[in-house]
């Protein structure tokens, strides 16, 4: 229920930050003024007793986020990859949220495994370790299959996690509605749609059968990608609350010193990570949506291993082409092109000035080029971009939220490997390859083929549709009915589409 009772939840969020000491730590990270600190202290102190105590063993901010629930932990995981935004110290503290949270007891995990797989764990696994990693939603045990003796990872959902997540999401919905009521200007950001999108993505993590399906599809898509690997799911040992997959052996992506000690080049790995992510998003339209250091390893041969496929992103072909053109426009510093694509896609209202929008985009993009990457403030860049979109009435594009968020996370991971990495230079060859493949003559022929296939599937309906339209044209009704005009329009649309396809095929053949 998204009622006013959630106001208490939001108040408790602030109270928890005050009680755990996270409020002061957050204000320090933001460089807040003494006046803001005093106001926060005055407002927070009376409600301090309502806050959760949290785990004293954790640093203040991770302690508060972990105490508040899994949705807050997810937020902290994102910030942990952005040392350039929150600072190196705070990013290091937040890193514990990735895979080093307190686990739940192994006996409970064994009970869940038995209930889900229909047999005691000792019959299914020759060995089953204590938890080797624990995150906000599940924990992982290292095991050996009893039948094949293969080494596997067994992921088990935390007990009661579904109810906890629904409670958090419920409060977020209430908060988003409250923001829209109190601040009408915020409606262009569509906070309620953003929360709904976040809900649909994250709730899928609570059914590990869906994660196994995502892992299987992602592995199939990327099997030929050099320098990349994804563990294989074991369907016979997976269920709603349990998922078994190949064990991924490697050095954690967050341990840069160990990566370097193993003889690998962190800068090369960072570049490869960025390019692989873009290739998956643009080429396949299906990408890993949670690529923080806790879900990445470096294999002994230098390959990047990705795992934990609970959050996956999917974008359609049209959106991919739009996104690629926007990226290419920034890479080529063609801000007029970037502005035009925004207007053509409907991202910016057509009554706005395209030239003014292009100049505003230039002010966002130009500081990136020719500058020392380590001196670029991503926080300031995002702040100015927010001002630009607000000025031109650009609405939040929910279909791009996960893509944009993951891009920020992946860039943060790559920057932790190589602080001097330039995202635009690294991205350029991948984007250029995609544009050549998706906008050239071959792509036109592919699109035409898809249209022909669609017409062929509906072929049996066309004769009756044309005959009905011709009869209605020869016997006009005294009163215009919606159905005849619709049918006639449909017939002409089909015939026009067929002629358009033929013309497209001829153009593709010529070029």
- Residue 233 near residue 216 (C-beta atoms within 8 A): yes
3-class secondary-structure state, position 229: strand
């199939």: which residue's tokens?
A: 220
Contacts of 221 (CB under 8 A, 6+ apart): 280, 284, 286
List Cβ<8 Å contacts ≥24 apart for 401-404.
401/194, 401/197, 401/198, 402/197, 402/201, 402/289, 402/311, 402/313, 403/281, 403/287, 403/313, 403/315, 403/323
Tokens found for residue 125: 């696994």
Tokens found for residue 381: 């860049």
Tokens found for residue 1: 């229920």
β-pair partners for 155: 140, 243
Helix (H) or strand (E) holding 463: helix 462-474
Residue 318, judged by CB atoms within 10 A of its CB (0-12, 13-18, 19+), counts as exposed
Q: Which residues have a catalytic role annotated?
A: 290
C-alpha distance from residue 42 to each of 24, 33, 48, 65 (Å)? 13, 14, 11, 22
Kindly give the pairing relationship between strand 138-145 and strand 151-157. Answer: antiparallel
Gap between the Cα atoms of 393 and 72, Å rounded? 29
Gap between the Cα atoms of 305 and 142, Å rounded? 17
Compute the half-sphere exposure of residue 415: CA atoms within 13 Å on the CB side of its CA.
25
Tokens found for residue 200: 């649909």
DSSP result, 138-206: EEEEEEEETTT--EEEEEEEPTTHHHHHHHHHHHHHHHHHHHHHH-GGGGGG-HHHHHHHHHHHHHGGG
């Amino acid at each position: 229920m998204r009622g006013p009772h959630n106001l208490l939840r939001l108040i408790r969020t602030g109270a928890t930050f005050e009680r755990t000491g996270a409020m002061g730590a957050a204000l320090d990270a933001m460089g807040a003024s003494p006046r803001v600190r005093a106001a926060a202290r005055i407002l927070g102190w009376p409600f301090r007793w309502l806050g959760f105590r949290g785990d004293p063993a954790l640093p203040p901010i991770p302690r508060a986020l972990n105490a508040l629930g899994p949705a807050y932990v997810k937020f902290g995981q994102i910030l942990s990859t952005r040392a350039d935004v929150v600072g190196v110290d705070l990013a290091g503290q937040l890193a514990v949220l990735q895979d080093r949270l307190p686990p739940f007891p192994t006996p409970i995990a064994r009970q869940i495994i038995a209930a889900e797989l229909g047999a005691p764990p000792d019959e299914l696994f020759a060995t089953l370790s204590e938890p080797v990693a624990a995150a906000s939603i599940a924990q992982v045990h290292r095991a050996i299959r009893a039948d094949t003796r293969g080494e596997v990872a067994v992921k088990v959902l935390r007990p009661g996690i579904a109810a906890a997540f629904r409670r958090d999401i419920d409060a977020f919905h209430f908060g988003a509605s409250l923001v829209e009521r109190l601040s009408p200007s915020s409606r262009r950001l569509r906070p309620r749609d953003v929360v709904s999108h976040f809900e649909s993505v994250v709730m899928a993590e609570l059914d590990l059968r869906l994660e196994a399906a995502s892992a299987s599809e992602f592995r199939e898509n990327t099997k030929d990608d050099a320098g990349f690997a994804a563990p294989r799911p074991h369907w016979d040992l997976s269920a709603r609350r349990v998922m078994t997959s190949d064990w991924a052996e490697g050095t954690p992506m967050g341990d840069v010193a160990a990566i370097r000690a193993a003889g690998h080049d962190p800068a090369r790995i960072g570049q490869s990570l960025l390019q692989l992510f873009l290739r998956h998003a643009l080429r396949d339209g299906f990408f890993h949506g949670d690529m923080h250091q806790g879900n990445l390893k470096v294999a002994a041969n230098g390959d990047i291993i990705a795992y934990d496929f609970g959050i996956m992103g999917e974008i359609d072909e049209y959106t991919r082409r739009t996104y690629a053109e926007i990226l290419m426009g920034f890479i080529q510093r063609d801000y007029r092109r970037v502005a035009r694509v925004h207007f053509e896609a409907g991202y910016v209202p057509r009554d706005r000035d395209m030239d003014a929008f292009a100049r505003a985009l230039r002010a966002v993009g130009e500081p990136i080029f020719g500058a020392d990457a380590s001196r670029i403030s991503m926080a300031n860049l995002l702040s100015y971009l927010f001002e630009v979109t607000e000025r031109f009435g650009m609405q939040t594009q929910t279909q791009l939220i996960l893509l944009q968020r993951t891009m920020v996370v992946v860039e943060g991971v790559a920057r932790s490997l190589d602080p001097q990495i330039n995202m635009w230079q690294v991205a350029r060859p991948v984007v250029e390859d995609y544009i050549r493949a998706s906008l050239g003559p071959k792509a036109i022929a592919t699109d035409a083929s898809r249209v022909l296939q669609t017409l062929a599937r509906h072929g049996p309906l066309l004769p009756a549709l044309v005959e009905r339209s011709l009869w209605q044209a020869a016997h006009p009704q005294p009163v215009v009915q919606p159905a005849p005009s619709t049918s006639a329009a449909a017939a002409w649309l089909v015939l026009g589409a067929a002629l358009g396809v033929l013309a497209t095929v001829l153009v593709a053949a010529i070029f």
